[in-house]
């Protein structure tokens, strides 16, 4: 088990004249929590989208568990055990919290035709309720996801990323716009999940306290390139990082 | 408990539908048939638009495909079931093809693409005389026989239509109650998120069009023997728009919405016949009021009214 869980090699992505991701390569080990920091527009979200099949990279390759996934669709990645959240909140506002969370796993159950003949909940209510309890969403279980608070929706979003039992989860600014109490709760939930399931995380985050205390390793991106990679203390002390991000 | 109440309501309505045309003239039975036929087509459009969130202004052309297929097959003395099957399968396949543009464009653009398809169908139906009878259309389609029983009488044909409509509703109900229903809604609400959770967005979008269009085909298979005369004009864009209105008035994404919306469109003009020329004006004003005050349509309005006493009760407690 020395092979990396996620391996990114030479990924390039440009939008017209803008090079959003510039020759990025890195590995993430099984069970690791990697933080990804960098100023706005440094290419973090685009990198996620390239890894997850949402955007086709112009060059480079991505491997999950030694399997090449470059060019695969986002739904394939999900079925291969890679979960994610989006920077822009992404829940289904017209569905109940319970339905949001059930949906997050139903496409992993059987084949498409088979699902037509399954019970309405695809046998997932119990599991969804466990997830609802884990993220302490019990009070809003039957409310529409569009009717609950922003912080609660962030939790629903996270719960959805975990529902199908992914081995690798990529979180894009999970703490953005979340109040301090909810923030501590979110960090604690993520750490607990990582400890209990050995799930690998890559977390994009601007909140330094959050990311420094959550992650064992931090990578800094600027203008599409990796400018630092190390422990939180190392990265915090790095001159280039201070100049391009922390200091500025 | 809610499912329980719904089952009772459905049973009451079905019972009412069984006795409704008894002792009435043929015209009432004919009117009820028209309603049920349109309800089937609107149910299909509701799947595509209400559940899956993909607009189609081509539903009338699918009624047309179903009606022409059924007419051609039955006029050649083959049984109705065969004509219906040909029409439904054809609509499923053509609907699948129409789904491909929906993978690329949304909203207004998709509306125009589907509108163009409806015009294309209209032109083909008008110009290919050898198949469709051109502007003269096709007439004299026989009504189906079920074993020894003929449905050529208006009442018999009404019960036949009712049975088909109930079956169609049941099948759709099973589809939207299954995990597929949730997937259609997820597709409507946030396609990118849905795909990131494992949904094959491409396949489900195509299916939303294919199934919705197949329901149009089934409606056409009823229309042909009901009206016994079809021409391209019965399936033009105006008819597609009117189907869209039925779905929206009933309540988008509400299972019973299209049934209610088509009832309003077909039966209300009769009820308001006394108002003569003012009917369309009254209808237009009612639609404007409904859409601006209650975008959830009639079912949404009913839900709001039903929820009101509960809220008052809640307020009294606190
Ligand atoms: N779909 C897109 N089309 C054009 N430019 C884009 C697109 N997505 C991102 N970009 C550009 O790529 C750069 C990186 O953006 P992004 O990955 O969102 O950065 P970050 O997540 O680090 O804030 C920015 O300059 C942004 O404007
Ligand atoms: Mg970003």
CA B54 to chain A, closest CA, distance in angstroms equals 16
Contact B232, B135 (CB under 8 A): yes
Please give the pLDDT value at position A221.
95
- Burial class from Cβ neighbours inside 10 Å (0-12, 13-18, 19+) for residue A248 reads exposed
Please give the pLDDT value at position B318.
37
Please give the pLDDT value at position B316.
44
Query: How far, in Å, CA of B144 to CA of A120, rounded?
Result: 36
Cβ-defined contact of B197 to A86 (cutoff 8 Å): no
Read off the pLDDT of each residue in A146-167 and give the average, rounded to a whole number.
93
Phi then psi for B192, rounded to 5 degrees? -65, -45
Q: Other C-beta atoms within 10 Å of A146: how many? A: 13
Read off the pLDDT of each residue in B200-207 and give the average, rounded to a whole number.
97
Closest ligand 1 atom, residue A44 Cα: 22
Among the partner residues A94, A105, A163, nearest to B185 by beta-carbon distance: A94
Average pLDDT, rounded, for chain A = 93
Please give the pLDDT value at position A241.
83
In percent, how much of chain B has pLDDT > 70?
96
- Check whether A245 has a pLDDT greater than 80: no
Contact A49, A74 (CB under 8 A): no
Nearest chain B residue to A164, by CA: B197
Query: How far, in Å, CA of A161 to CA of A165, rounded?
Result: 8
Residue with tokens 């088509």: B262
User: Number of C-alpha atoms within 13 angstroms, CB side, residue B205?
Assistant: 26
Which of the four pLDDT bands, split at 50, 70 and 90, describes residue B5? confident
Query: How far, in Å, CA of A229 to CA of B250, rounded?
Result: 58
Query: Alpha helices, DSSP H only, in A121-205?
Result: 125-134, 150-163, 180-197
- Check whether B277 has a pLDDT greater than 90: no
Q: What is the DSSP letter of A93?
A: T
For residue A40, the CA-to-ligand 2 centroid distance in Å is: 7
Query: How far, in Å, CA of B238 to CA of A192, rounded?
Result: 59
* Distance (Å) of CA A204 to CA A133, A169, A172: 25, 11, 5
How is chain B split into domains, by residue range?
Answer: 24-236
The residue whose C-alpha atom lies closest to atom 25 belonging to ligand 1 is: A41
CA B105 to chain A, closest CA, distance in angstroms equals 17
pLDDT tens digits, one per residue of B94-114 = 999 999 999 998 889 999 999
Phi then psi for A119, rounded to 5 degrees? -60, 150
Residue scoring higher pLDDT (A40 or A244): A40
pLDDT tens digits, one per residue of A30-83 = 999 999 999 999 999 999 999 999 999 999 999 999 999 998 999 999 999 999
DSSP-based three-state secondary structure for A204: strand
Read off the pLDDT of each residue in B243-256 and give the average, rounded to a whole number.
95
For residue A2, the CA-to-ligand 2 centroid distance in Å is: 30
Read off the pLDDT of each residue in B7-22 and give the average, rounded to a whole number.
94
* Distance (Å) of CA B288 to CA B249, B271, B294: 10, 20, 10
Q: Chain B residues with CB inside 8 Å of A90's CB?
A: 190, 192-193, 196
3-state SS of A96-123 is: EHHHHHHHHHHCCCCCHHHHHCCCCCCC
Read off the pLDDT of each residue in B151-171 and give the average, rounded to a whole number.
96
The residue whose C-alpha atom lies closest to atom 24 belonging to ligand 1 is: A41
User: Number of C-alpha atoms within 13 angstroms, CB side, residue B42?
Assistant: 33
Residues of chain B contacting A, Cβ within 8 Å? 175, 177-183, 185-186, 188-190, 192-201, 203, 253
Which of the four pLDDT bands, split at 50, 70 and 90, describes residue B39? very high
User: Which residue, A177, A140, A74, is CA-closest to A159?
Assistant: A140
Under 8 Å CB-to-CB from A138, ≥6 apart: which residues? A132
Which of the four pLDDT bands, split at 50, 70 and 90, describes residue B312? low
Read off the pLDDT of each residue in B68-73 and give the average, rounded to a whole number.
98
CA B194 to chain A, closest CA, distance in angstroms equals 8
User: Which regions of chain A carry the CATH code 3.40.50.300?
Assistant: 1-81+166-248
Please give the pLDDT value at position B90.
98
- Check whether B64 has a pLDDT greater than 80: yes
Query: Angle of helix B201-227 relative to helix B154-177, nearest 10 degrees?
Result: 170
Please give the pLDDT value at position A7.
97
Read off the pLDDT of each residue in A192-219 and give the average, rounded to a whole number.
93
β B229-230/B138-139 pair status: antiparallel
Q: Which helix (H) or strand (E) holds B142?
A: none
User: Which residue, A86, A28, A32, A38, is CA-closest to A225?
Assistant: A38
Which of the four pLDDT bands, split at 50, 70 and 90, describes residue B142? very high
Please give the pLDDT value at position B28.
92
The distance from CA B176 to its chain's CA centroid, rounded to whole angstroms, is: 15
Phi then psi for B183, rounded to 5 degrees? -65, -40
- Check whether A169 has a pLDDT greater than 60: yes
User: Which residue, B182, B217, B185, is CA-closest to B98?
Assistant: B217
- Check whether A228 has a pLDDT greater than 70: yes
Q: Which helix (H) or strand (E) holds B143?
A: none
Read off the pLDDT of each residue in B19-32 and give the average, rounded to a whole number.
92
- Burial class from Cβ neighbours inside 10 Å (0-12, 13-18, 19+) for residue B32 reads buried
Query: How far, in Å, CA of A15 to CA of A188, rounded?
Result: 37
User: Which residue, B229, B72, B225, is CA-closest to B151?
Assistant: B225
Query: How far, in Å, CA of A131 to CA of A142, rounded?
Result: 14
Average pLDDT, rounded, for chain B = 92
Query: How far, in Å, CA of A110 to CA of A122, rounded?
Result: 9
Superfamily designation of domain A1-81+166-248? P-loop containing nucleotide triphosphate hydrolases (3.40.50.300)
Size of interface A-B (CB pairs under 8 A): 92
Lowest mean pLDDT across A103-117, B98-112, B300-314: B300-314
Query: Angle of helix B59-75 relative to helix B237-250, nearest 10 degrees?
Result: 120
Which residues line ligand 1 at a C-beta cut-off of 6 Å? Answer: A 15, 18, 20, 38, 40-46
On whether ipTM exceeds 0.90, the answer is: yes
Which of the four pLDDT bands, split at 50, 70 and 90, describes residue B311? low
Residue scoring higher pLDDT (B31 or B270): B31
Contact A204, A36 (CB under 8 A): yes
- Check whether A216 has a pLDDT greater than 90: yes
Q: Residue B254 corresponds to which tokens in the numbers above?
A: 């509400």
Query: How far, in Å, CA of B87 to CA of B183, rounded?
Result: 27
3-state SS of A22-83 is: EEEEEEECCCCEEEEECCCCCCHHHHHHHHCCCCCCCEEEEEECCEECCCCCHHHHHHCCEE
Under 8 Å CB-to-CB from A193, ≥6 apart: which residues? A134, A162, A199
Which of the four pLDDT bands, split at 50, 70 and 90, describes residue A246? low
């Amino acid at each position: 088990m020395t092979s990396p869980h996620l391996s990114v090699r030479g990924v390039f992505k440009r939008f017209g004249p803008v090079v959003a991701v510039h020759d990025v390569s890195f590995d993430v080990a099984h069970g690791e929590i990697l933080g990804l920091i960098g100023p706005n527009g440094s290419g973090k979200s685009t990198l996620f989208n390239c890894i997850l099949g949402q955007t086709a990279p112009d060059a480079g390759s991505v491997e999950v568990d030694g399997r090449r996934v470059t060019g695969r669709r986002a739904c394939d990645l999900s079925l291969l055990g890679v979960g994610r959240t989006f920077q822009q909140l992404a829940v289904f506002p017209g569905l109940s919290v319970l339905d949001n969370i059930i949906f997050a796993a139903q496409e992993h159950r059987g084949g498409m035709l088979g699902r037509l003949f399954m019970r309405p909940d695809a046998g997932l209510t119990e599991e969804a309720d466990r997830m609802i309890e884990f993220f302490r969403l019990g009070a809003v279980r039957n409310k529409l996801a569009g009717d609950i608070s922003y912080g609660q929706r962030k939790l629903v979003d996270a719960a959805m990323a975990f529902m199908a039992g992914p081995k690798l989860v990529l979180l894009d600014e999970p703490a953005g716009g979340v109040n301090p109490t909810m923030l501590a709760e979110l960090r604690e939930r993520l750490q607990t999940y990582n400890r209990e399931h050995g799930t690998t995380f890559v977390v994009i985050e601007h909140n330094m306290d959050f990311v420094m205390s959550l992650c064992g390793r931090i990578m800094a991106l600027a203008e599409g390139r990796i400018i630092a990679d190390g422990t939180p203390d190392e990265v915090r002390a790095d001159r280039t990082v201070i100049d391009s991000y922390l200091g500025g | 408990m809610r499912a329980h109440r719904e089952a009772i309501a459905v049973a009451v309505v079905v019972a009412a539908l069984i006795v409704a045309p008894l002792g009435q003239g043929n015209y009432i039975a004919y009117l009820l048939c028209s309603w049920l036929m349109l309800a089937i087509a609107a149910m299909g459009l509701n799947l595509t638009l209400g559940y899956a969130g993909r607009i189609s202004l081509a539903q009338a052309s699918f009624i047309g495909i179903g009606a022409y297929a059924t007419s051609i097959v039955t006029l050649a003395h083959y049984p109705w079931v065969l004509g219906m099957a040909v029409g439904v399968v054809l609509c499923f396949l053509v609907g699948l093809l129409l789904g491909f543009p929906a993978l690329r464009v949304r909203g207004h653009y998709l509306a125009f693409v589907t509108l163009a398809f409806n015009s294309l169908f209209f032109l083909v139906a008008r110009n290919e005389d050898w198949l469709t009878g051109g502007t003269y259309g096709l007439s004299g389609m026989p009504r189906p026989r079920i074993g020894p029983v003929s449905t050529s009488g208006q009442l018999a044909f009404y019960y036949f239509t009712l049975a088909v409509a109930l079956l169609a509703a049941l099948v759709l109900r099973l589809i939207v109650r299954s995990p597929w229903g949730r997937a259609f809604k997820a597709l409507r609400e946030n396609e990118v998120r849905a795909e990131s959770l494992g949904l094959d967005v491409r396949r489900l979008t195509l299916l939303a069009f294919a199934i919705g269009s197949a329901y149009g085909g089934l409606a056409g298979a009823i229309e042909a023997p009901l009206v016994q005369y079809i021409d391209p004009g019965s399936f033009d864009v105006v008819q597609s728009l009117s189907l869209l209105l039925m779905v929206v008035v009933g309540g988008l994404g509400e299972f019973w919405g299209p049934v209610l919306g088509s009832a309003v469109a077909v039966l209300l003009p009769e009820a308001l016949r006394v108002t003569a020329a003012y009917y369309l004006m009254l209808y237009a004003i009612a639609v404007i009021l409904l859409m601006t005050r209650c975008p959830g349509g009639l079912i949404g309005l009913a839900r709001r009214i039903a929820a009101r006493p509960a809220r008052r009760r809640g307020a009294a407690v606190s």
